[in-house]
Amino acid sequence: MTVASNQPHSEPHLPKALAQDLSASATPATPTKAQLRKLLRQRRRDLSAQQQKLASMNLCRQIARLPLFMNSRRIAAYIPNDGEISAQPLIELAWRLGKQVYLPVLHPFRQGYLFFMEHQPHQPLALNRFGIPEPLCDHDSRIPAWTLDLVLTPLVGFDEQGNRMGMGGGFYDRTFAFMETGHTPRRPRLVGVAHECQKVDALPCERWDIGMDFIATDRQLYGLAT
């Protein structure tokens, strides 16, 4: 005959570390923007040199075939840093097609802003305070940002809704804030560029974020109107 026990039922004992892991996985914490930025930067830094080269070639194929690129005369690009996807093949194609290429330069008087100077083949560059190469200011070929046709903007992260994350300095947001006012004769087309591995499910959008016309990766174009 089975005798029912009057003793209270006890849960099986779990090691403290395992119990903490189970508890954490049951209620996953949403990463902060700083944590997400750190994670996504590490993802792109972890890519091998061969992966970076292949991604760069694929990105440039995606953009080079677009009428937007072919019809643009003044194109702003960038020198890759911190694992950013390289647009160098596109820069070289632009030169061959007789287009003008510009690079962002930290504004010396307006803190947190950029201006754009022409970048030519074999032109000497100097490192700014972030260690990013910039054209030397000996030959002043700067132009107003609103006169650019196409601006390639490196991203840290993005989602399929077109939200994007930069390095956190707000340089592009401040520089292109004029696009929200309509006070200039024209507006450039802004294209965010990133590795496909930098895509996430969702990113928060701040009110001061300047939106991209679309986002290009080595695999796909996101948000491009057809």
Domain ranges for the chain, please list them.
Answer: 33-222
Q: Is 223 left (phi over 0), alpha (psi -120 to 50) or beta?
A: left
Q: How far apart are CA 222 and CA 53, in angstroms?
A: 21
Q: Which of 62-71, 80-89, 153-162 has the lowest mean pLDDT?
A: 153-162
Q: Is the pLDDT of residue 4 over 80?
A: no
Q: Is the pLDDT of residue 76 over 90?
A: yes
Task: Give the model's pLDDT for residue 2.
Answer: 44
More confident call, 8 vs 74: 74
Q: Is the pLDDT of residue 169 over 50?
A: yes
pTM: 0.82
Bridge partner list, 222: 215
pLDDT in tens, 94-106: 999 999 999 999 8
Rg over alpha carbons for the chain, rounded to the nearest Å, is 23
- CATH fold for domain 33-222: Rossmann fold (3.40.50)
pLDDT in tens, 98-151: 999 999 998 877 888 898 999 999 888 888 888 888 887 655 778 889 999 999
pLDDT bin (cut points 50, 70, 90) of residue 70 is very high
Task: Give the model's pLDDT for residue 142.
Answer: 83
